[in-house]
């Protein structure tokens, strides 16, 4: 069948066969189908959606367009956590050592940050001496030894997704639920884990603006996961503010460690406990997520997750003394408080604006080539639900160069939205949908 006929079938709402989907994607990968035809196909999918059978084949083809990583030799139960992206998201850094304390392994490929969101790789690289493993064998040995192995993302994981995503970006088709679901799931399935936890952010700054859309995405991804025999749980989480208080590489490492000491921000701690509870439930060690979260809370009090954190840092050549002495981390030379000019109750904190405020101080990359300053960033002092009086500190900025300081302060001020009425702070986990 000609490519134009495949596009026409999709446009007219007819189901495509496995063979037709495979032919289109194979030809595109080989370069014998031009971008404009695939762009038309993506638009047809945007309007017509995909059936379960189409989505399974489409995801499978995406997944097999590059390397499949199985982590042979890992002796632990592996759970992977993936989030659709957030500001202040230091979840992996706190979660992995906590899971390790329960003998649940993390073997993960993580990304560098770009734009207003930071990457786990950059955050951990702020630890003096920290160098990520370069080979899969090294990573497997670290997981077996410490329970945690993280390395940089390989360019060859689902290369088809990179090409399709670039096309979606310029054809207004990013927000198609089947396209998002297959994009995320193909990458999750290409890197093996026994259990998968997905965190779908909901809110104005997220891909999914409403809880209904987020639920549809969750169900679609769970449907794909079932076809591939993976145990999955999807969390829908609130993105009406950044996660936790710290935004910036070393500052986020400190907040993750504080959380493992039982002194983290409440909403971030709640999320970490919920995720650990979910992993214990997936593994079969807890009868419910709530029971697992209780076990996690108790585990933090034993101090064992902190030891796991130290082992993980040491295994990567990092200075594990940072866990007890934050002055060994890169530290900014100056700091300034952003003072509230308005009174009220915090209704919302625009995460993107806060991410940009930290980025222009040097915490993030405006382009792929930008150099990072690991020390800089900001810490929010007021979160959603808090009452603010004029003159109180909204946030503290940590900086080395003052070039963009004024702009950064303005962005923080702009990010805060106040209500004159009392605001109930929402729980971070809005819904949990189990796929098994
Ligand atoms: N994250 C992805 O990996 N892909 C999408 O399409 C959207 C969010």
Q: Are 232 and 197 in contact (CB under 8 A)?
A: yes
Q: What is the pLDDT of residue 147?
A: 96
Q: What is the pLDDT of residue 136?
A: 87
128 plus 211 within the same structural domain: yes
Task: Tell me the average pLDDT across 338-359.
Answer: 95
353 plus 370 within the same structural domain: yes
371 plus 252 within the same structural domain: no
pTM of the model: 0.94
Looking at every residue in the chain, the average pLDDT score rounds to 94
Q: What is the pLDDT of residue 84?
A: 80
What is the residue with the minimal CA distance to atom 7 of ligand 1? 180
In what helix (H) or strand (E) does residue 347 lie, and over which residues does it extend?
strand 344-349
How far apart are the CA of 365 and the centre of ligand 1, in A? Answer: 19
What is the residue with the minimal CA distance to atom 6 of ligand 1? 180
Residue 287, pLDDT > 70, answer yes
- Which residues are annotated as catalytic? 82, 161, 168, 183, 187
Edge-first strand order for the sheet with 344-349 is 387-388, 344-349, 416-419
168-191: pLDDT as tens digits: 999 999 999 999 999 999 999 999
Determine the Cα–Cα distance for residues 406 and 402; give it in Å rounded to an integer: 8
Which neighbouring-strand residues pair with 152? 110
Q: Which atom of ligand 1 is nearest to the CA of 165?
A: 6
92-147: pLDDT as tens digits: 999 999 999 999 999 988 877 777 777 899 999 999 999 999 998 999 999 999 99
Q: What is the pLDDT of residue 214?
A: 95
307 plus 346 within the same structural domain: no
Determine the Cα–Cα distance for residues 353 and 358; give it in Å rounded to an integer: 9
How far apart are the CA of 54 and the centre of ligand 1, in A? Answer: 18
Residue 58 falls inside a structural domain: no
* Ligand 1 pocket member 59 (CB < 6 A): no
What is the residue with the minimal CA distance to atom 3 of ligand 1? 184
Measured between alpha carbons, how far is residue 179 from residues 55, 111, 121, 182, 185 in Å?
A: 9, 21, 26, 5, 10
In what helix (H) or strand (E) does residue 199 lie, and over which residues does it extend?
strand 195-202
Determine the Cα–Cα distance for residues 53 and 51; give it in Å rounded to an integer: 5
55-71: pLDDT as tens digits: 999 999 999 999 999 88
Residue 60 falls inside a structural domain: no
173 plus 300 within the same structural domain: yes
396 plus 281 within the same structural domain: no
How far apart are the CA of 184 and the centre of ligand 1, in A? Answer: 5
Q: What is the pLDDT of residue 276?
A: 98
How far apart are the CA of 180 and the centre of ligand 1, in A? Answer: 5
Helix residue ranges per DSSP H, 228-331: 249-260, 266-283, 289-302, 304-315
355-402: pLDDT as tens digits: 999 999 999 987 878 889 999 999 999 999 999 999 999 999 999 999
Determine the Cα–Cα distance for residues 67 and 399; give it in Å rounded to an integer: 40
Residue 178: closest CA among 7, 313, 43: 43
Task: Tell me the average pLDDT across 338-357.
Answer: 95
CATH number for the domain that contains residue 155? 3.40.1030.10
Mutate-to-test residue for ligand 1 from 157, 165, 201, highest number of ligand atoms within 8 A of CB: 165
Residue 140: closest CA among 229, 66, 69, 232: 69
Q: What is the pLDDT of residue 205?
A: 65
Residue 407, pLDDT > 90, answer yes
CATH number for the domain that contains residue 351? 3.90.1170.30
Q: Are 314 and 382 in contact (CB under 8 A)?
A: no
**Total tally of structural domains belonging to the chain:** 3
Task: Tell me the average pLDDT across 14-24.
Answer: 97
Q: Which atom of ligand 1 is nearest to the CA of 168?
A: 6
Burial of 111 (0-12, 13-18, 19+ CB in 10 A): middle
Residue 394 lies in domain = 331-419
Task: Tell me the average pLDDT across 9-16.
Answer: 98
How far apart are the CA of 385 and the centre of ligand 1, in A? Answer: 30
Q: What is the pLDDT of residue 83?
A: 87
Give the three-class secondary structure for 284. coil
What is the residue with the minimal CA distance to atom 2 of ligand 1? 184
Q: Are 387 and 320 in contact (CB under 8 A)?
A: no
* Ligand 1 pocket member 312 (CB < 6 A): no
In what helix (H) or strand (E) does residue 129 lie, and over which residues does it extend?
none
> What's CA 421's distance to the chain center, in Å?
32
Residue 239, pLDDT > 90, answer no
Backbone angles phi, psi at 40, to 5 degrees: -65, -40
Residue 252 falls inside a structural domain: yes
CATH number for the domain that contains residue 30? 1.20.970.10
Q: Pick the last residue of a domain from 276, 291, 323.
A: 323
* Ligand 1 pocket member 184 (CB < 6 A): yes
Mutate-to-test residue for ligand 1 from 174, 186, 201, highest number of ligand atoms within 8 A of CB: 174
* Ligand 1 pocket member 180 (CB < 6 A): yes
299 plus 268 within the same structural domain: yes
Q: What is the pLDDT of residue 86?
A: 80
* Ligand 1 pocket member 50 (CB < 6 A): no
Residue 308 falls inside a structural domain: yes
Selected residue with higher pLDDT from 113 and 44: 44
Measured between alpha carbons, how far is residue 403 from residues 68, 330, 331, 360, 408 in Å?
A: 44, 19, 18, 9, 10
């Amino acid at each position: 069948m000609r490519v134009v006929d495949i596009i026409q079938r999709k446009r007219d709402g007819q189901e495509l066969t496995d063979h037709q989907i495979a032919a289109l994607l194979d030809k595109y990968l080989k370069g014998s189908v031009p971008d404009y035809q695939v762009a038309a196909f993506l638009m047809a999918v945007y309007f017509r959606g995909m059936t379960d059978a189409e989505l399974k084949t489409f995801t499978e083809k995406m997944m097999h367009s590059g390397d499949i990583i199985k982590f042979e030799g890992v002796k632990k139960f592996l759970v992977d956590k993936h989030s659709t992206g957030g500001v202040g998201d230091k979840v992996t850094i706190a979660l992995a050592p906590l899971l390790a304390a329960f003998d649940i392994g993390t073997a993960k490929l993580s990304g560098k940050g770009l734009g207003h969101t930071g990457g786990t790789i950059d955050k951990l690289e702020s630890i003096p001496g920290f160098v990520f493993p370069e080979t899969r064998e090294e990573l497997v040995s670290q997981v077996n030894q410490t329970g945690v192995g993280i390395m940089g993302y390989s360019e060859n994981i689902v290369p088809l997704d990179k090409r399709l995503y670039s096309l979606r970006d310029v054809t207004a088709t990013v927000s198609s639920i089947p396209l998002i679901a297959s994009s995320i799931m193909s990458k999750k399935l290409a890197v093996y884990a026994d259990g998968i936890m997905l965190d779908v952010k909901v809110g104005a700054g997220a891909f999914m603006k409403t809880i209904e859309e987020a639920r549809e995405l969750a169900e679609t991804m769970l449907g794909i996961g079932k076809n591939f025999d993976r145990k999955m749980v999807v969390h829908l989480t609130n993105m009406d503010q950044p996660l936790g208080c710290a935004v910036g590489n070393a500052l986020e490492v400190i907040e993750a460690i504080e959380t493992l000491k039982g002194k983290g921000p409440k909403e971030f701690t709640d999320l970490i406990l919920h995720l650990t509870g979910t992993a214990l439930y997936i593994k079969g060690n807890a009868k419910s997520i709530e029971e697992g979260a209780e076990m996690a809370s108790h585990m933090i009090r034993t101090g064992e997750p902190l030891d796991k954190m130290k082992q993980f840092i040491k295994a990567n050549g990092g200075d594990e003394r940072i866990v007890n002495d934050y002055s060994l981390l890169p530290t900014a030379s100056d700091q300034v408080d952003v003072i509230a000019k308005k009174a009220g109750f915090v209704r919302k904190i625009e995460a993107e604006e806060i991410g940009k405020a930290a980025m222009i101080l040097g915490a993030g990359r405006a382009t792929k080539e930008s150099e990072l300053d690991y020390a800089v960033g900001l810490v929010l002092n007021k979160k959603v639900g808090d009452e603010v009086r004029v003159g109180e500190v909204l946030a503290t900025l940590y900086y080395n160069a003052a070039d963009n300081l004024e702009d950064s302060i303005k962005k923080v001020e702009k990010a805060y939205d106040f209500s004159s009425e009392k605001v109930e702070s929402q729980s971070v986990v809005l819904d949990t949908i189990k796929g098994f």
